[in-house]
Chain A
Amino acid sequence: EAGVAQSPRYKIIEKRQSVAFWCNPISGHATLYWYQQILGQGPKLLIQFQNNGVVDDSQLPKDRFSAERLKGVDSTLKIQPAKLEDSAVYLCASSETGYGEKLFFGSGTQLSVL
């Protein structure tokens, strides 16, 4: 079974630039999550999709972050403009229904904002 695919694996940008991350979940998984993991901390949810609808985006900094999930499959997360404090690993995960199940994670994108 193919896993959750993420790209790019690494990204270095300067502050105020924009960046986009891509995620392809496991086929058939209805729920997709984007997490931000700052060094030394646990992952923090940015946004949760159920199919192509948003379930929870309460911790997404909407003035600079945006995310979409086209046709309920692939998803992109964008930051514009980036700040120094956005330096983190961005993890994408998916699950079949999202209710108390195992989450399958991608390998993440490590973002460095200089």
Chain B
Amino acid sequence: AQTVTQSQPEMSVQEAETVTLSCTYDTSENNYYLFWYKQPPSRQMILVIRQEAYKQQNATENRFSVNFQKAAKSFSLKISDSQLGDTAMYFCAQQTGANNLFFGTGTRLTVIP
């Protein structure tokens, strides 16, 4: 069964600092995809970053990067130079093939000015 665990319900970071959000998952498949989505108060989920499990290189998107540890089934998100606009809920998600995109419970991130 698919599970995605986010153990940090809430986190905060000073503006311009770096923060890391944790995510672990469980799957018996070898090929799958991992995602981090951001959900601001507007409720619209926005893709932050995507990782293909068969690629060893960690994905990066500007200030966002991941630390993908396949053997440990860990997929953490690092946000560098945090900005006020980064304040939001962050959801880790996993998808196998064309199946359901399975979400974790989320981490509420607050960037403090």
Residues of A within 8 A of B (CB): 31, 33, 40-45, 48, 50, 55-56, 89, 91, 93, 97-100, 102-103, 105-108, 110
Contacts and interface: CB of A to CB of B under 8 A. Distances in A.
Identify which of B35, B45, B99, B106 gathers the most chain A CB atoms within 10 Å of its CB: B45
Nearest to B101: A103
A42 B106 contact: yes
Contact of A56 (B32, B35, B100): B100
6 tightest A-B CB contacts, nearest first: A42-B103, A100-B33, A105-B45, A108-B43, A99-B98, A45-B100
A89 B37 CA distance: 16
B106 A100 contact: no
A55 B42 contact: no
Nearest to A95: B101
Interface residues on B, range: 20 to 34
Interface of B: 4, 32-33, 35, 37, 42-47, 50, 52, 91, 93, 95, 97-106
A43 B91 contact: yes
A93 B99 contact: no
A93 B103 CA distance: 14
A40 B102 CA distance: 16
Contact of A100 (B47, B91, B97): B97
Identify which of A89, A97, A100 gathers the most chain B CB atoms within 10 Å of its CB: A100
